[in-house]
Structure 1
């Protein structure tokens, strides 16, 4: 005769099950506790002012872009947004400050494509690494203007190239600093045209433009915010713009391709970064508000007046843009054996 198993023989299985369930519940609670700070931070972000750190002095594309964003972003987030200019070390002072800042989304780098691409290529030792920063998104893009002092005896790009060839070593060009877009871009311009000019680096566009206006430096390839007002007033001559199309604020100025230099295109872009390790929820919230702020009609109108194009990209697409431009710049830098002066 077969007897049923005593009730106590099922107890171990029941105890085991209870222990498993208890362990899973405890683990879930722990995970919730671990995840809670990031979620709480995202829900309450921002609870204090945000600082936009600009690696250049006031004036120029970087500063203009930061100030286009600061007011509408402050209104959107309900907190003050302060622009803090931290020039020095070819942008590295500002980069280091943000890379080492608390991972909370309150210290934001207004990043320039020239620094972000060229510095890691051209500098053996940096006080920061790309992995130290997390993208928030692209905010603006600007074509560049090939501008010269009125004393230059050329009114178009073709005649300018011929004049420089007739005066080897006598023509100086300004840049916003070693490794900037104006530096690398002008070197690429030299490669494509076969001309020789001497590089005079400055700490930002503000100082550079003063010497170009004074005639101490003859040439400056820079973004519209730096030169457009001086071109419109006749203090500088614009020979070409470096975009695919003419600039809406300078319709009389041809593109480089139209002026006889096909294939020469040079864009400068500005993106926002925070310290790596900033909670993803905070980055996403900030990125969404940046997009809304930059794409408002008022911001776009002010950007157009400043000669800047609003072009938002997500954090992921900003990374893709960086990877694409890094590859093309690295090729040009190697071909020209470009080094820091």
Structure 2
């Protein structure tokens, strides 16, 4: 399981993030930014979120005139990274980069270490990511119907990689299992990079 990304305008994303972060600080008549900015990514290096955050950081730095650092804090389907960001000083220098899972799904599936509604403020939507189901060339199935048939013929033999328990990919897997009655083995990862590498390797 991986994601295909459709980027909104880079210039729009960069300027939107900068403007949103700048507004409350300008109201206090403070010079901003006066020091490097940190973006906490809730997933490990090598995945989609990490790549997009680094692209954003590279574009933000010359616009803001300060270094923009990317700090990966992976685990618990993004909750560890978002918890670290939620507990950072609310000084306009700490931002988070995450999928919706730790903010929308995780709080409904178990105890979250932070309050997504009150501890985190939205700044900008940077990417839109539809869900794709991909398989290697070794998989005989050429469409979803054939995948279901293959799964029913070999219960538990097919493996479904996701970015972790309670991730969007995991939710989709459970929906597929419930809707078709198939038995597919869930293989959770901390992020997309290793997930994709292992999937390509079979």
Partner residue of 1:173 out of 160, 163, 171: 160
**Deviation of 1:80 (Å):** 1.0
**Runs of at least 5 residues in structure 1 that lack an aligned partner in the other structure:** 1-34, 216-341
In structure 2, the residue matched to 1:205 is 192
Is residue 43–residue 98 contact of structure 2 (8 Å, CA) maintained in 1?
no
In the alignment, the residues of structure 2 paired with residue 170 and residue 53 of structure 1 have an alpha-carbon distance, to the nearest angstrom, of: 36
What residue is the counterpart of 2:90 in the other structure? Answer: 103
Alignment of 1:83 onto 2:74: no
- TM-score normalized by structure 1? 0.49
TM-fit CA distance, 1:36 = 9.8
Residue 70 (structure 1) shift: 1.0
Alpha-carbon separation, structure 1, partners of 2:56 and 2:172: 26
Aligned-pair CA distance for 1:37: 9.1
Q: Mind listing any 5+ residue stretches in structure 2 that lack a counterpart? A: 1-23
1:71 aligns with 2:58: yes
State the aligned residue count: 178
Alignment partners' CA distance in 1, 2:185 and 2:39: 34
How many angstroms apart in 2 are the aligned matches of 1:188 and 1:207?
24
Equivalent residue, structure 1, for 2:112:
126
Please list the CA deviations of residues 184-239 of structure 1 after superposition, one character each: whole Å capped at 9, or x if unmatched: 12222333333221111111112222322222xxxxxxxxxxxxxxxxxxxxxxxx
**RMSD between aligned residues:** 2.0
SS at match of 1:164: helix
> Partners in 1 of 2:58 and 2:43 — Cα distance?
19
SS in 1 for 2:122: strand
TM-score between both structures, scaled by the size of structure 2: 0.80
Q: Which residue of 2 aligns with 1:260?
A: none
CA contact (8 A) 2:101 2:167 kept: yes
Which of 10, 17, 28 matches 1:39?
Answer: 28
Q: How does 1:20-31 map to 2 (within 5 A)?
A: none
Residue 127 of structure 2: aligned partner: 140
User: Runs ≥4 in structure 1, deviation > 6 angstroms?
Assistant: none
Deviations 1:278-324 (A, max 9, x none): xxxxxxxxxxxxxxxxxxxxxxxxxxxxxxxxxxxxxxxxxxxxxxx
Structure 1: how far apart are the matches of 2:25 and 2:169? 46
Q: Return the index of the structure with the highest Cα Rg.
A: 1
1:180 Cα deviation from its structure 2 partner: 1.1
- Check conservation: 2:26, 2:32, Cα contact below 8 A: no
Q: Please show how residues 155-170 of structure 1 align to structure 2 within 5 Å.
A: 155-170=142-157
Alignment of 1:234-253 (within 5 A): none
CA distance in 1, matches of 2:168, 2:80: 18
Aligned to 1:59: 46
